[in-house]
């Protein structure tokens, strides 16, 4: 079937120059398209017998940094064990302090460490790898682009990581039992348990301090636990360490799952391809293809490179790259992007892209660049520890020594007050309360059909002002359905039976929609005889003694004289509504008209209305044509931009993001760069693995109605976090003054610290019970 014939609106292609021996190899209808296709270049068709020569320009490639080119060498590693963005920052801080390192760049989503050095030698490579290993990660050097393609992410959850957590949990239970039996023995047991849990954290804190990150969250946890042990709160120290380890493990699980989805981009690329050399077919590795190689792709195969079509015409499913819901018909000489799917029959093509520079590679690069442009959000506790903990520790030190030394005050009194201040400086309430809110919100969101990947995503979702949506598969159901049947010379049932008989066996989405709809109505039909695709026109089949055609309306006159002005008016009305129309005709009769459309999700209108009531602006970004986009946007009462490639979506998101926080909701690989560039990316549960795992949140129930629930929940959670921070810091400020003046003793400071922790934790649990 030929739909959305791009050649009609592309640069001129001299189809008449094709030789007569171009083979009719696809089953298609032709359909007028209103796309703009600057990326399809002007091409003369078919040089010699079955080939096409490029007449115009290639893709514009990004230029390299002139200061970097020729002066610095780029070295790339894949880093295993990098569980969070905080880990990435540790590696970057550690490596950039090394000699002969000009610039470092860490890309968490693809687990890449990129280092620019003046010259490449084994000594520099080993120095960098030793530093990464010292920090607790495994570097794998990538000597070629092909090696990075073969990279596989580690498992989502390493069971060995559960052993320390299970051991510490067991020791806590044992310590508590001993505490009930013998208080003193129980206290010693908690002290030993805290020390066992603290040692690996303290060791990492020391390594990070030596590497240029003195006040990382590990340092904060070490100070907090040691401070709690120092004033005798061993139970609190133990629980803080235990909760910290749980939080780190859960964050690692979510992050590993997110990173794993990025690698599925390369799955669009076949590992092997059939190449034609001197008329002989040979299977080669896809990454060895070079420009001007002639390749052959069978039905259902994906393109391993950007190519030019040599065969007469082909049906191509571009949904993974452009969001176009209906396969596009390409003619001889058209350029087609890598990763696209051949719908019908075998085609021959000419490679035009270099290794590592095809469409899929560029999308992957867009994802990496979008992450690089997106400001990294450091966890609040880590930021706060840079100033709060060392400041309080210094202040406590001064309180202990200055009064006795300079004013002759009593040492015991000021040591006691200094230790009390040190306890005030222990940010246990902050360490526990904020993760408690996040954990509660994540749990509540999961019950409502939403997966939120971390605290940073939760915070950003609650602050967004605009939500941008992909169309196909997000606002719509993602597959065409019959919407209108106009009877002609046949009844509705007879018309469907005839159309299904001719379309039977086709893999084209429109053909499958007609066949499935006919089967749902339990209309009997038998596959037509002598079915044959008519290049650039449609398909024909014989039922009895009658030859019947299924064609696009603008091609009816090539096979029939049955069209009337009234029929044309009906067709125009349907097409103006964004529907795809096919006509079933004989040489002299119009049997009927069938209209299909990718229809809205059942919950789309309700969800968009609720979001607008929450004060959010909604926008649709789609690679589909203007007519289809306008029809969908009109039903939803929202703004839209159509005919966008992935790079165009990225540009629009960045433009809007300069003025306000924006979320991008999508389901396809083509949405991934925009989702990464947005303040927050949200994926539909039925979407591609890349969209699901690249996103900061995913609608696991695949319902748009989960979105307004998500917005309400995250806004409430953000409010709760601010309340907890105010409570924790406010109480500490009060006791800081009273302790300094001597009104608060050590025991009351302990009670205040524990009480604050209890208050903020109880407040966090309100999020768990949040409904609306």
Q: What positions carry a catalytic annotation?
A: 470
Residue whose C-alpha is closest to residue 548's, from 537, 559, 558:
559
Q: Is 344 helix (H, G, I), strand (E, B) or coil?
A: coil
CA distance 600 to 579: 12
Q: In this structure, are strands 617-621 and 466-469 parallel, antiparallel, or unpaired? A: parallel
* Residues 150 and 135 sit within 8 Å (Cβ to Cβ): no
Q: What single DSSP character describes residue 302?
A: B
Residue whose C-alpha is closest to residue 31's, from 63, 60, 62, 8:
8
CA distance 435 to 689: 28
Question: Which stretches of 231-309 are DSSP H helices?
Answer: 234-263
Round the CA-based radius of gyration of the chain to a whole number and report it: 32
CA distance 400 to 734: 19
CA distance 132 to 138: 7
CA distance 36 to 641: 13
CA distance 675 to 679: 8
User: Can you name the residues that pair with 139 across neighbouring β-strands?
Assistant: 79
CA distance 728 to 270: 55
433: tokens are: 């309360």
Residue whose C-alpha is closest to residue 745's, from 412, 433, 428, 432:
412
Residue whose C-alpha is closest to residue 117's, from 97, 130, 101:
101
Residue whose C-alpha is closest to residue 369's, from 110, 84, 145:
110
Cβ contacts of 310 within 8 Å, gap of 6 or more:
46, 50, 51, 52, 294, 332, 347, 348, 349, 350
* Residues 341 and 300 sit within 8 Å (Cβ to Cβ): yes
The residue written with tokens 């602006």 in the block is 617
Query: How many Cβ atoms sit within 10 Å of the Cβ of residue 738?
Result: 17
Strand order from edge to edge, sheet including 639-641:
450-452, 697-699, 680-684, 662-666, 466-469, 617-621, 639-641
Q: In this structure, are strands 466-469 and 662-666 parallel, antiparallel, or unpaired? A: parallel
The residue written with tokens 């009480």 in the block is 755
* Residues 110 and 367 sit within 8 Å (Cβ to Cβ): yes
Q: Is 79 helix (H, G, I), strand (E, B) or coil?
A: strand
Using CA of residue 142, residue 146, residue 149, residue 154, what is the dihedral sign?
A: negative
User: Can you name the residues that pair with 282 across neighbouring β-strands?
Assistant: 275
CA distance 90 to 86: 6
N-term to C-term CA, the chain: 48
* Residues 646 and 673 sit within 8 Å (Cβ to Cβ): yes
CA distance 181 to 413: 35
Type and span of the H or E element at 581: strand 580-585
328: tokens are: 């596009």
Cβ contacts of 769 within 8 Å, gap of 6 or more:
444
Using CA of residue 611, residue 612, residue 616, residue 621, what is the dihedral sign?
A: positive
Cβ contacts of 414 within 8 Å, gap of 6 or more:
399, 400, 401, 403, 404
């Amino acid at each position: 079937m030929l739909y959305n014939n791009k050649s009609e609106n592309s640069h001129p292609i001299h189809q008449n120059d094709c030789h007569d021996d171009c083979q009719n190899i696809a089953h298609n209808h032709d359909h007028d398209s209103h796309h703009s296709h600057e990326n399809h270049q002007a091409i003369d068709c078919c040089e010699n017998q079955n080939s096409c020569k490029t007449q115009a320009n290639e893709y514009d490639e990004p230029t390299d940094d002139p200061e970097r080119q020729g002066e610095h060498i780029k070295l790339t590693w894949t880093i295993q064990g990098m569980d969070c963005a905080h880990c990435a920052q540790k590696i970057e801080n550690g490596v950039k302090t090394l000699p002969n390192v000009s610039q470092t760049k860490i890309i968490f989503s693809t687990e890449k460490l990129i280092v620019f050095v003046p010259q490449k030698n084994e000594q520099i490579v080993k120095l960098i790898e030793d530093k990464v290993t010292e920090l607790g990660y495994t570097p794998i050097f990538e000597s070629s682009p092909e090696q990075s393609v073969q990279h596989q992410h580690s498992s989502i959850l390493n069971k060995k990581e559960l052993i320390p957590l299970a051991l510490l949990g067991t020791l806590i239970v044992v310590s508590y039992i001993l505490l009930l039996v013998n208080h003193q023995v129980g206290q010693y047991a908690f002290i030993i348990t805290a020390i066992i849990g603290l040692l690996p954290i303290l060791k990492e804190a020391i390594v990070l301090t030596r590497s240029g990150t003195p006040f990382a969250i590990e340092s904060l946890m070490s100070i907090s636990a040691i401070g709690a042990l120092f004033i005798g709160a061993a139970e609190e120290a133990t629980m803080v360490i235990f909760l910290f380890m749980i939080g780190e493990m859960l964050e690692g699980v979510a992050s590993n799952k997110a990173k794993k989805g990025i690698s599925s981009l390369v799955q669009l690329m076949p590992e092997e391809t059939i190449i034609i050399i001197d008329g002989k077919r040979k299977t080669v590795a896809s990454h060895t293809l070079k420009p001007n190689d002639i390749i052959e792709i069978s039905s259902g195969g994906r393109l391993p490179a950007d190519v030019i079509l040599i065969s007469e015409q082909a049906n191509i499913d571009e949904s993974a790259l452009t969001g176009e819901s209906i396969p596009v018909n390409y003619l001889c000489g058209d350029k087609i992007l890598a990763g696209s799917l051949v719908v019908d029959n075998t085609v021959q093509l000419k490679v035009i892209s270099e290794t590592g520079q095809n469409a899929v590679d560029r999308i992957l690069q867009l994802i990496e660049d979008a992450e690089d442009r997106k400001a990294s959000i450091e966890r609040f506790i880590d930021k706060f520890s840079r100033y709060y903990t060392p400041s309080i520790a210094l202040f406590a030190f001064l309180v202990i020594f200055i009064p006795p030394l300079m004013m002759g005050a009593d040492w015991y009194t000021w040591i006691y007050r200094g230790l009390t201040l040190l306890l005030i400086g222990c940010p246990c309430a902050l360490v526990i309360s904020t993760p408690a809110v996040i954990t509660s919100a994540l749990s509540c969101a999961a019950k409502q059909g939403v997966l939120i990947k971390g605290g940073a995503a939760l915070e950003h979702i609650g602050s967004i002002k605009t939500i941008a949506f992909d169309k196909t598969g997000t606002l719509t159901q993602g597959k065409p359905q019959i919407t209108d049947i106009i009877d002609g010379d046949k009844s509705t049932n007879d018309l469907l039976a005839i159309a299904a008989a001719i379309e039977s066996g086709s893999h084209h989405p429109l053909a499958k929609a007609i066949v499935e709809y006919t089967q749902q109505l339990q209309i009997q039909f038998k596959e037509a005889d002598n079915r044959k695709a008519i290049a650039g026109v449609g398909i024909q089949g014989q039922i009895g003694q009658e030859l019947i055609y299924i064609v696009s309306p603008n091609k009816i006159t090539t096979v029939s004289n049955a069209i009337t002005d009234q029929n044309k008016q009906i067709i125009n009305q349907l097409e103006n509504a964004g529907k795809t129309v096919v006509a079933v005709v004989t040489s002299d009769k119009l049997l009927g008209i069938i209209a299909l459309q990718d229809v809205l999700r059942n919950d789309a209108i309700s969800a968009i209305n609720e979001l607008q009531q929450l004060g959010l602006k909604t926008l649709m970004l789609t690679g589909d044509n203007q007519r289809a986009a306008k029809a969908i946007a009109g039903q939803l009462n929202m703004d839209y931009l159509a005919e966008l490639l992935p790079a165009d979506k990225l540009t629009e998101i960045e433009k809007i993001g300069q003025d306000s926080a924006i979320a991008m909701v999508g389901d396809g690989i083509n949405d991934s760069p925009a989702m990464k560039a947005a303040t927050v990316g949200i994926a539909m549960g039925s979407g591609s693995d890349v969209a699901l795992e690249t996103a900061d949140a995913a609608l696991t129930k695949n319902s748009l109605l989960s979105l307004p629930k998500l917005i309400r929940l995250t806004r409430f959670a953000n409010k709760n976090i601010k309340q907890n921070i105010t409570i924790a810091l406010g109480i500490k400020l009060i006791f800081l003054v009273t302790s300094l003046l001597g009104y608060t003793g050590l025991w009351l400071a302990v009670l205040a610290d524990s009480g604050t922790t209890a208050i903020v934790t109880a407040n966090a649990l309100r999020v768990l019970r949040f409904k609306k």
